[in-house]
Amino acid sequence: MEMLAMAMLAVFTAGYLVLAGADIGVGMVLPVLGRGQGERRLVIAGIAPFFLGNEVWLVSAVGIVAGAFPGLEHRLLEGLFPVAGALVVAWVVRDMGLWLRGRVDARVWRAVWDGAVVAGSWGLALAWSSLLGTLLADAAGAGGSGFNVGSVAGLPLVVLFVLHGAGFARWRLSGEPLRRARRVPARYGVTAVVLVAVTVVAGLGVEWSRVQASPAGLAVTAVMTVVLLPLLLAAQGLVWWTFRGRVTAPTYL
Amino acid sequence: MDALMLARVQFALTAGSHFLFVALTLGLATLVAFMQTRATVSGGAVSGGVVHARMVRFWGQLYVINYAVGIVTGLVMEFQFGVNWGGMSAVTGEVFGAPLAMETIAAFFVESTFLGLWIFGWDRLNRWVHLGLIWVVAVTAYLSAYFILVANGWLQRPVGFVLEDGRARLTDLGALLTNPTAVLAFWHVVFGGLLTAGVFVAAVSAYHLRRRTGEVEFFRRSMRVGLVALIVGAVVVPTPGGMQFAYVQPTKQGASEKGLAEQARFVAEFGPGDYLAPGGAKVGEVLMLVAWQLLMLVALAALVKVWSGRWLVRGRVFHVVLMLSVPLPYVAMLSGWVFREVGRQPWMVYGVLTTRDALSKVGPGWMAVSFTVFTVLMVVLLVVNVWLLARFARRGPEAVQLGAAPPVRPVEPVLTPSY
């Protein structure tokens, strides 16, 4: 049963990094892809229908941690408190930017919230790089319950997010922003595989037996997740199918 | 302030602002779903249902603005469980975590994904599919509230577990899910949310009718929807609320006979200390009842007026009363919640884990930094979104951006020379 719960946590964490990693990456390079405010709005339209359905993978991963591996919360959140805090702040700032930028038609308003999207995306990517770096170093034997060498050494992982975002932009954008995205030698499939691999290896650094819930508690979360996973995948599939193709016009955001 | 007080105030501010927005979200999602059903049945914007389709977009946009704050404050709250209340996840994480896991996977995941489809798929999807989406969003929003209240209900009245080596183990999931403090609180919140949304919709409509902004049919119909929700909400909400008193902790009522007996039992079991609820709980209880009684008066007036369209359009005093009523459901909600949560102190999990023991070992310096950063963030978020809600409510249906055809402006041509 603990294998099942671990597999589910891996699916949701990797799912988040692959799916949301793309819209985070696009947010990071927003000023590069879109030069004027009109172009930037188009770039945002490329990720707009996806970001809500992407970030829920992380919320669910945290839910699995709460239900099946309550001890892990302590290791990740209490031990790495500043990084976890920065991650949440960046997430909030970025979401605010996305939701608010289109609401008022004024140059300064848009510029401020575009700035929030870019800063929040970088903050998220850096926090994730540090977090993954710490866990990778754990897996390599660094150990400990707080920061280690990987917390800093992992920071260059942000490049992965940039490349992944550029790869996604190649699918979704059109016109000038697309031309700029094509200058980056990025492939969505390649960076997706790397992100999954990083997640799995990072997971090897956790002492699972010490953080897991009792068999009954573990089973409740694991079984429910397995049963619902096909439904959640179908919902995600519906999003991709509905918003396939390139964007040529702005959306609500 | 010591670390415990900082952490408690931080949680109270986050959960309080979360609850303010969630209450409106729950009720408004339901009203929008009904409006969209009406619009879809009457043929959508193409044929007879023009006014209904416009209502869906106007109220739908206010709902979406509101929803975004709900999500973001929810994230910060989930983060605090892990960071500030590490002692809770260490001792009771397994039991408390189970409903949280269910909420994220069985409810929030679907709610958020489908809301994205609803917002961005406005012109792309078949209108019946689009209608189905908002109903899924509304139902999963309620499911989400239920699971959260299962978690909270367990803090109030812990059931379905055993303590082994100082850690709570889940033994009876059914008892957890059918805990009366969870189920009754759920129905209480359902009708509280409906009441909140009813007052909101009626008050915004009253503003426009009073100002004679020209959208008479639009806001007459909207006002009726709001008033029906207000009446149903106000009349039903005290029933599941009052039924909870059968399960209320003896210490919540202060130094009553039962409370003192419980105090003596806790002293014998956990050592000396004050186990009676702080006075703030009583203040919350009284404020909640006063706000509800005022709302009942509004509901009675509404019951007289709701039958006649002319009365709805003309009653200018009634319009002012409705506009002044907007804060009342929020006062009732927040003070009811203070009664529930402050009344549980000094316990985090009643009779199992004290709030002090639930606190993380994070240093007070970090606690202060986190408190400052998140409080500033929450205040900015609240101010900006309340301002936006007011702005779009005031501007009326013509200024709606949700589901509108994209503004016609020179979008960059698909092919441009690259020199």
pLDDT at B414 over 80: no
Please provide residue A89's backbone torsions phi and psi, each rounded to the nearest 5 degrees: -60, -45
Residue for token pair 């006063």? B290
Per-residue pLDDT reduced to its tens digit, B44-63: 555 557 888 889 999 999 99
The minimal CB distance from B112 to the residues A56, A76, A82 is found for A56
Say if CB A73 and CB A66 are below 8 A apart. Answer: yes
Per-residue pLDDT reduced to its tens digit, A160-210: 999 999 999 999 998 888 999 888 888 899 999 999 999 998 888 787 877
Say if CB B412 and CB A38 are below 8 A apart. Answer: yes
Q: How far apart are CA A49 and CA B122, in angstroms?
A: 11
Per-residue pLDDT reduced to its tens digit, B379-394: 998 899 899 999 999 9
A182 touches B at CB < 8 Å = no
Span B26-42, mean pLDDT? 92
Residue B305, C-beta contacts closer than 8 angstroms, at least 6 positions apart: B227, B311, B312, B315, B318
List A residues 19-78 in contact with B (Cβ-Cβ < 8 A): 38-39, 42, 48-53, 55-57, 59-60, 62-68, 70-71, 73-74, 76-78
| Domain spans, chain A | 2-242
B362 touches A at CB < 8 Å = yes
Say if CB A17 and CB A199 are below 8 A apart. Answer: yes
Per-residue pLDDT reduced to its tens digit, B95-141: 888 899 999 999 999 999 999 999 998 888 888 999 999 999 999 99
- Distances from the Cα of B178 to the Cα of A1, B69, B342, B348, angstroms: 25, 30, 23, 20
Per-residue pLDDT reduced to its tens digit, A19-58: 999 999 999 999 999 888 888 999 999 999 999 999 999 9
Give CA B117 to chain center in angstroms: 22
The minimal CB distance from B414 to the residues A99, A225, A248 is found for A248
Mutate to test the interface with B, among A13, A23, A74 (most CBs of B within 10 A): A74
| Max Cα distance, chain B (Å) | 86
Q: How far apart are CA B226 and CA B214, in angstroms?
A: 19
Q: ipTM more than 0.90?
A: yes
Nearest residue in A to B77, CA atom: A88
pLDDT at B406 over 60: no
The minimal CB distance from B100 to the residues A38, A67, A76 is found for A67
B68 touches A at CB < 8 Å = yes
Say if CB A93 and CB B77 are below 8 A apart. Answer: no
pLDDT of res. A215: 82
pLDDT of res. B47: 55
Mutate to test the interface with B, among A59, A98, A212 (most CBs of B within 10 A): A59
pLDDT at B407 over 60: no
**Residue B409 CB: number of other CB atoms within 10 A?**
9
Label residue B232 by pLDDT band (50, 70, 90).
very high
pLDDT at B192 over 60: yes
Residue B253, C-beta contacts closer than 8 angstroms, at least 6 positions apart: B259, B277
Span B338-344, mean pLDDT? 88
Helix (H, G, I), strand (E, B) or coil at B348: strand
Contact B401 A102 (CB under 8 A): yes
Say if CB A48 and CB A251 are below 8 A apart. Answer: yes
Q: How many CA atoms lie within 13 A of A241 on its CB side?
A: 7
Contact B83 A50 (CB under 8 A): no
